Structures are given as structure tokens and as C-alpha cells.
Structure 1
Amino acid sequence: MTELEHDTPFEFPCQFPIKAMGKNIPNIEAIVFEIVQRHVDDLSESAVKTRESKGGKYISVTVTVEAQSKAQLDAVYMDLTACTDILITM
């Protein structure tokens, strides 16, 4: 375990839900999946859950992954926040 791994309450590997929210555009689920897949081996489409906002203008996409390290999660979140179609990550 690296020193950076001590800066997190998680024990790796662990199941970790990655959530991204954006405008409800036709391909937002595929965009989020592709970004997360860059960093996670053997990611299944069944790991993806979506939920529309009450008015349908926005959508949240949650991808549950087997996280291996804090560095891996940091890389996922950096790529997600760099995407102009994604408004918020959690």
C-alpha cells in the first residue's frame, strides 16, 4: 500500500459506485461507460444504472466498479470532470 492509499477510508480492492450527472442527451450513458472503462478492466454494462431527474432534463449515471486503488479512482474522476457533457461527479 502506498502512502497515498493511507489518505482514504477505503480498503482496496472494494466495490465503489462512481456517479456522473449530465444533461439527458441520447448517448450520456455510453459516454460515462467509455470513460470509466478506460480505467477498469472487465467492466460490465450491467454495472451501469441510470436515473432521470424529475423533469427529465438531467440524468445520473452510476457505474459500480471493483476499485483497485485511490489512484485509479482519481484518474476516473479526472477524466469524467474533463468531459464537457458531464456536469457533476460524485
Structure 2
Amino acid sequence: MSNDLKDLLDFPCRFPIKVMGEQHPDFQTTIYEVVRVHAPDLERVDIVARDSSGGKYISLTVNVMAVSREQLDSIYMALSSHAMVKVAL
């Protein structure tokens, strides 16, 4: 992330992370646990789920209270490397 982009965020701040994957009964719980390692104050109400029109995929918006760029980088790395996650934005 360039310094210009880094300056756009004033920490701490609420930061939405989009996570997409195939429908699975444990997807939301798994993503909650992965993110909570890096954002211990995350609550289940901070996650909003939306199914795709065909029902094959699920999209989560995870609203974290970000305290640093490094924390966000850690969350993205953990999500991107998880087998259930197709995309993390």
C-alpha cells in the first residue's frame, strides 16, 4: 500500500472486508473465527451475509474495528490463504 493510500485511513476506524466463498454450513462461523484471531473485539453482529442469486455462493461483509494497517494486512493474508475463501476484498 502506498503512503498516499495509507494516509486515507485514520486508525482506529471501522473497515468493511468482503469475503466470498461457496455455500457451506460452517462458512460464516469459520470466517468469524479466522478474523477474530486478528480482531478479538469482533462480534457476530459485525458480519452480514448475503447469498448469491443462484444460491451457490455466499458473500460476507465483515466490519472490523481496524487499529492498524498491519492488522488489516494480517486479516487479508489469513483470509486469502484459507481454503474456503474464493475472494477477499
TM-score (norm 1): 0.90
Residue in 2 aligned with 1:64? Answer: 63
How many residue pairs get aligned? The number is 87
TM-score (norm 2): 0.91
Aligned residues with identical type, % of pairs: 39
Do 1:49 and 1:62's aligned partners in 2 also have CA atoms closer than 8 Å? yes
Instruction: Give the superposition deviation at 1:52.
Output: 0.4
| 1:2-34 Cα shifts (integer Å, max 9, x gaps) | xx8765121100000111100011110011100
Q: Which runs of 5+ in 1 are unaligned?
A: none
In 2 relative to 1, CA 76–18 (structure 1 residues): closer, same or farther, beyond 3 Å?
A: same
- Structure 1: which 4+ aligned runs deviate by more than 6 Å? none
RMSD across aligned C-alpha pairs, in angstroms?
1.4
Q: Which runs of 5+ in 2 are unaligned?
A: none
